[in-house]
Copies of this chain bind each other. A is one copy, B any other.
Amino acid sequence: MSQLQRIAIAPSQFQQGQILLTKEQQHYLGRVLRLREGDRFIAMDGKGKWWLAQLAGEQAQVLEALLVETELPVSITLMVALPKGNGFDEVVRCCTELGVTCIAPVLSDRTLLHPSLQKLERWRRIAAEAAEQSERSFVPTILEPVTFNTGLSFANSQQYICVARGEFPHLKDCLQHKGQRTNDIGQERIVIATGPEGGWTTQEIENAIAFGFQPVSLGRRILRAVTAPVVALSLITAACEV
C-alpha cells in the first residue's frame, strides 16, 4: 500500500523515460506537496498508465511502470471546509473509499474548528485504513489545513465549488459536458470544494470564481457539510470510471 503523492500528467509529457514537468506541476510538487529533489511520486497519464517517478529539477525520472486496477484514471482533490465535531472522520473515510486522490481541509469564514496535529494524524490513519478496506492501490494524501484563499491558489485545471443555494448548473451536467466536449475528462486534475455548515460566504464564492472555480449545485435539497463531499465524489468518480 503506497503512500506516495500522485499527479496527473498529459501523455505528451512522458518522453524517453523522463517526465517534463509544467510550471504548475513543479509548483504543486514543491510548494503544495513539499517534495524535494530525489523524492518519489506517482505520475498518471489519465489513460490508465501510472509511473513511479523521482523528482529531478524541472523533470522527473521514471523508475518503473505500475499496474493498477482499482484506481481512477484522474486526480481528484477535495477541498473541504472543516465541519464541526468528528464529522470529518467520516468524510475522509467515505471519500477515500470512493477514490479521492488528495483531501485539502480548509478553514473558511464559518469554520469554527482549528484542528490539532493529532487530528491530522488521525485523518491520515483513517485514510490508510479505508484505502486498504476498499482495496485501493494508493492512500490519498491529507494535506495540512490551510485558509480557504491559500487553498484556492493550489487549484488548476477543472475546478468546481459546490454552492447550496442559487441557480447554478448541476455538477453532473458540468462533468458530462466537459467529457462530451473534449473527451479527455481523464487527463485532468479535478478540484472540488464543499463548504461548511451554513455554506460559503458570498465573499468566498466570489474569490473562488476569481480563481477560476465554477459554482455548481448538488441538487435542490440542502445537504449537510459532511454529506456534500460524499455526494460530489460519487458523481465525479462515476463520471471518471473507465
Hey, which bits of chain A sit against chain B, CB under 8 A?
A: 2, 69-71, 90, 93-94, 97-99, 133-136, 165, 170-172, 218-224, 227, 230-231, 234-235, 237-239, 241
Complex partner residue of A94 from B69, B170, B227, B239, CB under 8 angstroms: B227
Find chain B residues with CB under 8 A from A237 CB: 219
A223 to chain B minimum Cβ distance, whole angstroms, is: 5
Residues of B close to A71: CB separation below 8 A:
220
A63 to chain B, nearest CB (A): 24
Partner of A231 from the list B133, B219, B230 (CB cut-off 8 Å) is B230
Q: B172 near A221 (CB under 8 angstroms)?
A: no
* Residue picked from A94, A97, A219, most chain B C-beta under 10 Å: A219
By CB atoms of chain B within 10 A, which of A99, A219, A234 has the most? A234
Q: Name A221's contact: one of B99, B223, B235 (CB within 8 Å).
A: B99
Contacts of A219 in B (CB 8 A): 98-99, 237-238, 241
